[in-house]
Amino acid sequence: MHDGSYLNFRAAGTALVLDCTGDGLPRVVHWGADLGELTGETMAAMARAAVPQVAWNNVDVVVPLALLPEHSAGWQGTPGLTGHRAGTDFSTAFAVTSRRVEGRALTVVAEDPVAALELRLEIELTDSGLVRQRAGLTSLAGEDAAPFTLDGLLLALPLPERATELLDMTGRHLRERTPQRHAFTLGTHLRDGRKGRTGTDAVTVHLAGEAGFGFRTGEVWGLHVGWSGNHRSLAERTHTGVSLLAGGELPLPGEIILGPGESYTSPWVFGSYGRHGLDELAGRFHGYLRARPHHPSGPRPVTLNVWEAVYFRHELPKLKELADAAAEVGAERFVLDDGWFRGRRNDRAGLGDWYVDETVWPEGLHPLAEYVRGLGLEFGLWVEPEMVSPDSDLARAHPEWIMATGGRLPPESRNQQVLDLGNPEAYAYLLERLDALVGEYALTYLKWDHNRDLVEAGHGPTGRAGVHAQTRAVYRLLDELRRRHPELEIESCSSGGGRVDLGILERTDRVWTSDCIDALERQRIQRWTGVLLPPELMGAHVGAPTAHTTGRTHGLEFRAGTALFGHFGIEWDLTSASPEDRAALAEWIALHKRLRPLLHTGRVVREDHADPALWVHGVVAEDGGHAVFALAQVATGVRVPSGNVRLPGLVPDALYRVAPLPPADRSRGPALTPLAWWGEGVTLPGRVLAEAGVRAPIQHPERLVLLEAHRVEG
């Protein structure tokens, strides 16, 4: 694989070729399609063939692009490391002192004796073909030297010139992960997250690819920063012909200061490649997540959450009635949302007082928990541990536990402030309260919310910037709670989808994809969240007929058919639903349970359909034996009918029987002659289904149908 100077890491159709010659930091020679086995001589020739000429009016040497770009090498783009010692040592020149290769992983240690800094770089190619890298920085200076103030550490991956288009995501509360596409021009496309959490407008995956790349076509490269605090992601193209993606944590001023022997470790920065579009790129993230030892492996319980059913109106008879209805339709988990703790009759008070409100629950939550479990359902609870209401016993007793700076409180958001988990006493209080609640009520699930951005997030009596410490403390809190309660599942909810990243997902079991469960909005939100996460990690619930966030009304087949492709749940007052609606919902839940082994292990596929009003997506089993597809009409089409739909991802030479799947098996359009193949299905080779496709039915907007494909002999 390597001779020590060059490395060729290969996995799942991807290759990462590294140049480790000399004492400079490693450089990427190739990141993209697998090139097969390469000799050291071939890799050396590749590196030599890629050396550019020295252009006029630039430095008189070739400028290498290392994994951590350095100004000292002549790099004049965004630097990999920014920092200083009281204004000195602002530019590093690291020389490698050791290298270690284990499998498809390289660890490099380098030192700059002048700046008195040691750098540890780790880069690996996972089994799914995902690149991940991180860095550690240690100060080697003595006691008499000034500390090193770290302003930023970014890790880079180069891109080829043919990556001429960028696609990233933005959004807001209730409209997370909205894609935006634009040309990859000279300069820097910079996406900073300064919200103290990942953010509802987060880039999620910074994508660059060939012009017009889609889900199934075009080469594409993407970068994700696995960090839940402030972060930076950028795509940069220079006039010297270099293109790259880079990312890392974005420290606040003075937030990370390294004294003698002190170290900083960056978050993991992930790179994914798709030779044939976004589905392949997304599949590498999905494969990486599914290979983790702690990835949810059992059936994902169908969850009823009571928020939109009762809001703050907690009454035991009503909640028991909801639990009865949940059990009747086939739910497997019951989650009591906001409003159960002291003083919490609305969203203006109570956060931080994590004791059951005796005025509402004189016997604690035991009567409800025991009743729920008696129906065969798991019992879960909503918490928002990182926040505090100014109107709470905790805030009155410990105002010094609120994150603030400058002798003033930050502006309130949603009537709350942020609890400083960098304060050991505040941390200990939360750990004790959460541990006690999980233990007393035998909780198997926590919906862990986080409903505001961090503004002026000062730590301690000095008010020093504290987002980094806060993020690390949250990670420690989650890790310790999971250590004490190994069976506990935790959902990352943050104003809905405001904390969706691979840092938080090392410690949680799913995300609440958005507070908006309007099925039309969810089609887009889930479509683009799926570039990073597989379906089993995305909470997707069936809401009431009329969505409370948008006022839109949708039929059950559109609402349930949208939620089907995720971690299925219910966010609906089932006590107000008609018997017919409950029976239909039970049918959808039974379908989800039947398909759950496929949906939560198979490959996610999407068709780049010519009609933007018709979205086609599905999941195909790894062995290609079974698949299910959704045809979602998200708007009125300009053309009627909209033509054939292709069903991608099937084994080309295998035969499949494709048929409409009840209960979403009817053409929901005007009364027209039925499709010729609709009633009995059709049997065709996978290659024909993927290239020629089948005729789609005419549908009213905001409707969908499902198709199921089974491999047959012959």
Active-site residues, by number, are 449, 515
Q: What is the C-alpha separation between 665 and 679, in angstroms, rounded?
A: 9
User: DSSP letter at 341?
Assistant: B
Angle separating helix axes 579-599 and 556-563, nearest 10 degrees: 30
Check whether the bond before 641 is cis (ω within 30° of 0).
Answer: yes
| Residue among 45, 95, 102 nearest 72 (CA) | 95
Residue 191 contacts residue 233 (beta carbons within 8 Å): yes
Residue type, 181: R
Q: What is the C-alpha separation between 400 and 557, in angstroms, rounded?
A: 51
Q: Kindly report each contact of residues 413-416 with a partner whose C-beta sits within 8 Å and lies 24 or more positions away, as own/partner.
A: 413/451, 413/452, 413/453, 413/455, 414/347, 414/451, 414/452, 415/347, 415/348, 415/349, 415/389, 415/390, 415/391, 416/351, 416/387, 416/388, 416/389, 416/390, 416/451, 416/452
The HSE-up count of residue 331 (CA atoms within 13 Å, CB side) is 30
Q: What is the C-alpha separation between 386 and 229, in angstroms, rounded?
A: 13
**Sign of the CA dihedral 409, 411, 416, 418?**
negative
Detail the DSSP E strand segments found in 140-242: 148-153, 155-159, 165-170, 178-183, 187-193, 206-209, 220-225, 231-237
How far CA 175 is from CA of 195, 225, 496, 505, in Å, comes to: 17, 21, 10, 21
573 CB contacts (<8 Å, ≥6 apart)?
Answer: 308, 309, 310, 322, 544
Residue type, 472: R
Measure the CA angle with vertex 518, ends 281 and 640; round to 5°: 75
Angle separating helix axes 316-329 and 579-599, nearest 10 degrees: 60
Q: What is the C-alpha separation between 203 and 166, in angstroms, rounded?
A: 12
Q: What is the C-alpha separation between 551 and 349, in angstroms, rounded?
A: 28
Q: 3-class SS at 424? A: helix
Residue 528 contacts residue 224 (beta carbons within 8 Å): no
